[in-house]
Amino acid sequence: MKQQGYHKRAARRTLALAVAGASMVGLSSVAQAQQTLNIVSWGGAYSMSQEKAYHEPWSEKTGDEIVNIDRSANALAGLRAQSQAGNVTWDLVDMLPADAMIACAEGLVEPLDHDELLAEAPDGTPASEDFVEGALGECFVASIVYSNIVAFNSEMFPEDNQPSTIEDVFDLENYPGQRALMRRPINNLEWALIADGVDRDDVYDMLETEEGIQRAFAKLDTIKDNVIWWEEGAQPPQLLADKEVAFASAYNGRIFDAMVTEDQPFEIIWDAQVFELDGWVVPTGKLDKVRDYLYFATDTQRLADQAQYISYGPARMSSSDMVSTHAEAGIDMMPHMPTYEPNFATAIQKDDEFWADYSDELSQRFDAWLAQ
Amino acid sequence: MAIPSYATRGERIWHYVFLGICALIFLFLVGPLLIIIPLSFNAQPYFTFSQKMLTLDPEGYSLRWYQDFFTSRAWLHAIKNSFIIGIASTILATVLGTIAALGLSSRHMPARGAIMALLISPMIVPLIISAAAMFFFFSKVNLAQTYLGVILAHTALGIPFVVITVTATLSSFDTTLVRAAHSLGANPTRTFFKVVLPLVTPGVVSGALFAFITSFDEVVVVLFIAGPEQRTMPIQMWSGIREQISPTILAVATLLVLLSMLLLTTLELLRRRGERLRGVTPG
Amino acid sequence: MSDSPAFPLTTADGVPLKVSLRRAVRRSKLKAFLLVSPLLLFLVIAFVMPIIEMLWRSVDNPEVTNHLSRTVAALEDWDRQSLPDEPAFAALAEDLREGQEARNLGLLSSRLNYEQSGMRSAITRTARGLGTMEPPYKEALIDAHARWGELDTWKLIQREATPLTMSYYLMAVDRQLTPDGEIVRAPENQRIHVSLFWRTMWMSLVITGLTLLLGYPVAFLLSNLPLRHSNLLMILVLLPFWTSLLVRTTTWIAILQSQGVLNDLMVAVGVIADEARWQMIHNKTGTIIAMTHILLPFMILPLYSVMKTIPPSYMRAARSLGGRPFLCFRRIYFPLTIPGIAAGGILVFILSIGYYITPALVGGQSGRFITNYIAYHMQTSLNWGLAAAIASILLFVVIIFYLIFNRLIGVDKVKLG
């Protein structure tokens, strides 16, 4: 992971050259007025995959310059502030559906007419039927399915005793070492309940009850002293690589990236992965500016292309069949996708509505618990 | 610190122990700053001394992180921003602060204490509070995410330093010199430029340096009120440290340590010049 | 004395001297004030107004009044004993419908969700179903979401229909209002801010103590050396003072992390085993070490300027009168340095309780300060009212210490460098 910054910058230079080249082409053809698109995303390997799959071809085609802004983690705050200031500088924002729901309810982002704005599948299926379930919200269009998983550094356990289930993460006796978990209740509470024996279909019903919450915290208590809490998506692979921790919860794509591009000896525990969608919202007033880009970046080919660079599943069914091999490493991407059948067997879908309601209260409780 | 002649043997021992303790504290103060300098030349992307570095093998050292820094568009953009914002806010703070200091050092300044307390407050109020407050207010008046907004915010933060240093210089200023100039026939403007200004300049310049470094080093306010366009160097470092500390950060840090050495030397020279002009000689 | 002489002294042009003097004073007063006024004006706009805006945010409560105006009006004569009647429900449906069309229900639902978890989805779900809803609304709304059939929901709406609210401050001190408007402590497992305030204070005290412990000998040494040497050593104190805060924090990460310089050294020397590296960062230890380092110059400089003024002859006199060294130090020297200790101590303490960057970067969970929560509520939870309330409380604490400092030492005595 330490080298990733270097790769990222190298890529940026390449991009800059590509943009410069493309704009020269643009000069001769004068196909379209060039513009600068400020696109907010998550940074790291994920932004890289967007750059390769969407931004580069788009710049080549139109001469537009695309500026990447790594602010998705605080995108809702940023959108609010900008709209309040009456000076919206972001043109397109990559965010989670739960945030998109709130942004939509506050009128910060445009409602989207999916069939009008999005490309059909190659076989003519309208967009609204081609995207996977839950991928299209009132103001939201998903591009990927990603997953929150726990990964481990395989060098830190003997070969005959490698962890494989979420219970193992909570098992300090057989699998000693520090754990790195996200400093938020999301995912951690779900995993705690499952590790404590709750059926995955009952997790969110359980969490609506006081008893369930207490049970989850009690389970987390058992490993609390061995947890380092992370806050940025880039931290877990770094912590794993440095062997600061044995296990780390992470976004599956980041772990994959470290495994493939840096040869890190990481393994993903797919058991009880919490999967979720992620995609675009258009800040209010920006629809006309990004309409063409959005159409382009969400079509079947682009979503399939993105899967060459990062192990996130495309949100379009028509793209799934086109997922092939990793662009550089040449390995088959399918087994690394959250949606791959064997990985998906015990998956949980994150309940956005539950978290929209309870994240304030549970975050506070979680913090209070941490402070104890 | 000489040992007095009447010191007992125990005191002598204590004296050397004391010096040893002080040396350790100085090491604590400066050591960390010096340690990063060799680390920034590490050929490996790690944060510690590699075997090759310890054996002084040239292969263990490299300039790759510096190269990284100087070829990165993001970093260069951030440096440019830092200088634009730093210089603009320094000029504003210095002009406003110096004029105000002239008024404050007048014997007849009304409500001096209260006004002084207000002028110093941006230095005392925690940055996170100023940042949150400015975020609320600047968003409302369309200053958030603009260069002007960041510059105004940094001016406010730099002002206390200018006010403090310039009033301090003025307080040691001998007003009879002004009267002497008047009596020798100089008009007020001439007096100001020929007599007052040269004597006050060291104070003004060191105030300006403080204001500049305040802006140049400021993270929190920029974090809250700046947009992507106004990314400054500290912000770039901040996100670098939070996400993944690549040794590029150490290269930047080394450059900044050198910069602060430069500033410090300037200040020291200024101080000596000021003392010489005022006829104070170091003992 | 107050009797004026029969023939008042006059200036050359016949104006009484007293009047003329008064006029001159007034003129120079005005002149002085005019010189200061541009800066004052600037600070009022760029600094004071933002602070006022923040204070306002901490009590501002426009959501319910603005977005549920009809409902609030319909609740005016409500008896609070049983569910309100159809007109209130109809008004609510109308309000929500309007909000749904204008797409501005988000702030309202967030606001109510702060008070009662679950209100967010109650509102969004209900609003989504409004299109096909028909009167009577009472049944229809309760059918759409059970919350509307609960007395507490309506009490909450009525309670929050005031232009100003205390509730952010209550949240900031781990209190809450019951539906009937009584202030009670939050459930124990949700109390977090008060203990954090105390922790911030406590850690700041520790840091202040450590800077004093380390700063005192250095200041003593500096003030007792001949100026030529002390100037040189002073540079060692000023260098960290002038070095970027982020640089200093970074170096501590490089030194303290478990694969860092110090741990490597300890493993190499054999003090600790490779598997048992010390955890010195992302916890209290890390914060305290890094902040002590960062704030140390702020202790040394005031101490030094006080010690500089103590004539060495005092100690010599005490010794010649037969005092043992330690006694002389304790009875003569130390009391004279107390103003410096007070100045440095308060300065370091004030700076410390408001620190954000260093605890955020090296503090981990246990080294977190209250400032981290201000940032958290500003950027992540987006509860800006709560952020403003916590910040206002912190501001109040800082101002108190600032006033003490001003009273004891005077801000104009602060010296830099």
Domain range C193-413, CATH class: mainly alpha
* Preceding omega of C136 cis (within 30 degrees of 0): yes
B279: left (phi over 0), alpha (psi -120 to 50) or beta: left
Give me the count of residues in chain C: 417
Pick from B25, B161, B234: CB nearest C214: B25
How many whole angstroms separate alpha carbon C299 and alpha carbon C216? 8
User: Which candidate, C54, A281, A233, places its Cα nearest to that of B225?
Assistant: C54
Q: Quick one: what percent of chain A has pLDDT higher than 70?
A: 91
The per-residue pLDDT for A24 is 40
Pick from C47, C227, C242: CB nearest B213: C242
**What's the pLDDT tens digit per position in C301-352?**
888 888 888 887 887 787 778 777 778 778 888 888 888 888 889 889 999 9
What are the start-end ranges of the E strands in A169-312?
179-182, 227-230, 247-251, 266-281
A79: left (phi over 0), alpha (psi -120 to 50) or beta: alpha
User: Which candidate, B166, B194, B200, B165, places its Cα nearest to that of B180?
Assistant: B194
**What's the pLDDT tens digit per position in A100-143?**
888 888 889 999 999 999 998 888 889 888 998 888 988 999 99
For residue B112, give the CATH number of its domain: 1.10.3720.10
For chain B, the three-class secondary structure string (H helix, E strand, C coil) is CCCCCCCCHHHHHHHHHHHHHHHHHHHHHHHHHHHHHHHCCECCCCCCCCHHHHCCCHHHECCHHHHHHHHCHHHHHHHHHHHHHHHHHHHHHHHHHHHHHHHHCCCCCCCHHHHHHHHHHHHHCCHHHHHHHHHHHHHHCCCCCCHHHHHHHHHHHHHHHHHHHHHHHHHCCCCHHHHHHHHCCCCHHHHHHHHHHHHHHHHHHHHHHHHHHHHHCCCHHHHHHCCHHHCCHHHHHHHHHHHCCCHHHHHHHHHHHHHHHHHHHHHHHHHHHHHHHCCCCCC
Amino acid at C273: A
CATH number for A4-145+277-335: choose from 3.40.50.300, 3.40.190.10, 3.30.450.20, 3.40.980.10. Answer: 3.40.190.10
Which residues are within 8 A (CB) of A197 and not within 5 positions of it... i.e. 6 or more apart? Answer: none
Tokens of C74: 């319909």
> Residue B30 sits in which domain range?
9-60
Range C220-256 burial, b when 16+ CB lie within 10 A, else e: bbbbebeeeebeeebbbbbbbbbbbbbbbbbbbbbbb
Domain membership flag for residue B25: yes
Choosing among C100, C101, C120, which should be mutated to test the A contact, i.e. which has the most A CBs within 10 A?
C120
Q: Do A2 and B244 touch (CB under 8 A)?
A: yes
**What mean pLDDT value characterizes chain A?**
84
Partner chains of A (3+ C-beta pairs under 8 Å): B, C
Tokens of B230: 């106004």
Which residues are within 8 A (CB) of C385 and not within 5 positions of it... i.e. 6 or more apart? Answer: C57, C58, C60, C61, C114, C165, C168
The per-residue pLDDT for A19 is 43
Pick from B46, B129, B257: CB nearest C394: B129
Q: Kindly state whether residues B42 and B95 are assigned to the same domain.
A: no
Domains held by chain B: number: 2
Give C88→chain A minimum CA distance, Å. Answer: 23
Rounded mean pLDDT, B248-275: 82
For C239-286, the three-class secondary structure string (H helix, E strand, C coil) is HHHHCCHHHHHHHHHHHHCCCCHHHHHHHHHCCCCHHHCCCCCCCHHH
Per DSSP, the three-state class of C133 is coil
The per-residue pLDDT for C410 is 66
**What's the pLDDT tens digit per position in A33-70?**
578 899 999 877 788 889 999 999 999 989 888 888 87
Q: Kindly state whether residues B145 and B187 are assigned to the same domain.
A: yes
Look up tokens 């232009």; give the residue: C163
pTM above 0.90, yes or no: no
Q: Give yes or no on whether A4-145+277-335 and A146-276+340-371 have one common fold.
A: yes
For chain C, what is the radius of gyration of the CA atoms? 31
Model confidence band, residue B243 (pLDDT cutoffs 50, 70, 90): low
CA C413 to chain centre: 24
**What is the pairing mode between strands A313-314 and C183-185?**
unpaired
Model confidence band, residue B283 (pLDDT cutoffs 50, 70, 90): very low
pLDDT exceeds cutoff 60 at A6 = no
How many whole angstroms separate alpha carbon B82 and alpha carbon B167? 28
Greatest mean pLDDT among A13-27, A354-368, C135-149, C399-413 lies in C135-149
**What's the pLDDT tens digit per position in B58-92?**
777 888 888 888 888 888 889 999 999 999 999 99
CA angle, residues A106, A112, A116, in degrees to nearest 5: 170
Helix ranges (H only) for C116-269 are 119-129, 137-144, 151-159, 167-172, 193-224, 227-242, 245-256, 261-269
Tokens of C403: 């006033």
Give A270→chain B minimum CA distance, Å. Answer: 25
Give A32→chain C minimum CA distance, Å. Answer: 34
User: Which candidate, C362, C364, C386, C367, places its Cα nearest to that of C375?
Assistant: C386
Q: Kindly state whether residues B77 and B56 are assigned to the same domain.
A: no
Q: Kindly state whether residues B30 and B136 are assigned to the same domain.
A: no
* Contact between A336 and A270 (Cβ < 8 Å): no
For A189-231, the three-class secondary structure string (H helix, E strand, C coil) is HHHHHHHCCCCHHHHHHHHCCHHHHHHHHHHHHCCHHHEEEEC
Q: Centre a 10 Å sphere on the Cβ of residue C146 and count the other Cβ atoms it contains.
A: 12
Tokens of A298: 């969400």
Q: Render C360-395 in DSSP notation, one character per residue.
A: HHH-TTTT--HHHHHHHHHHTS--HHHHHHHHHHHH
Q: Do C36 and B11 touch (CB under 8 A)?
A: no
Q: Centre a 10 Å sphere on the Cβ of residue A222 and count the other Cβ atoms it contains.
A: 14
Q: Do A360 and C189 touch (CB under 8 A)?
A: no
Taking contacts as CB-CB distances below 8 angstroms, the residues of chain A near B229 are: 89
Domain membership flag for residue B163: yes
Q: Do C240 and B29 touch (CB under 8 A)?
A: yes
C184 membership: H or E segment, kind and range: strand C183-185
* Contact between A46 and A147 (Cβ < 8 Å): no
Is the interface score ipTM higher than 0.90? Answer: no
How many whole angstroms separate alpha carbon C378 and alpha carbon C197? 18
The per-residue pLDDT for C68 is 92
Partners of A277 in the β-ladder: A145
Amino acid at C411: V
Partners of A146 in the β-ladder: A276
Rounded mean pLDDT, B4-9: 72
CATH number for A146-276+340-371: choose from 3.40.190.10, 3.30.1130.10, 3.90.170.10, 3.60.110.10. Answer: 3.40.190.10
Q: Do C251 and B282 touch (CB under 8 A)?
A: no
Higher pLDDT, A235 or B122: B122
Per DSSP, the three-state class of C306 is helix
C23 membership: H or E segment, kind and range: helix C17-43
The per-residue pLDDT for C267 is 82
pLDDT exceeds cutoff 70 at A26 = no
For chain A, what is the radius of gyration of the CA atoms? 21
The per-residue pLDDT for A195 is 93
How many whole angstroms separate alpha carbon A85 and alpha carbon B134? 12
Domain ranges of chain A: 4-145+277-335, 146-276+340-371
CATH 1.10.3720.10 residue ranges for chain C: 193-413
How many whole angstroms separate alpha carbon C255 and alpha carbon B48? 8
Q: With a cut of 70, list the residues of chain C below it in pLDDT.
A: 1-8, 410-417
Q: Kindly state whether residues B42 and B120 are assigned to the same domain.
A: no
How many whole angstroms separate alpha carbon C74 and alpha carbon C92? 9
**What's the pLDDT tens digit per position in B182-226?**
888 888 888 878 887 787 887 888 889 889 988 998 999 998 888
Q: Kindly state whether residues B138 and B190 are assigned to the same domain.
A: yes
How many whole angstroms separate alpha carbon A115 and alpha carbon A129? 9
Pick from B135, B142, B239: CB nearest A87: B142
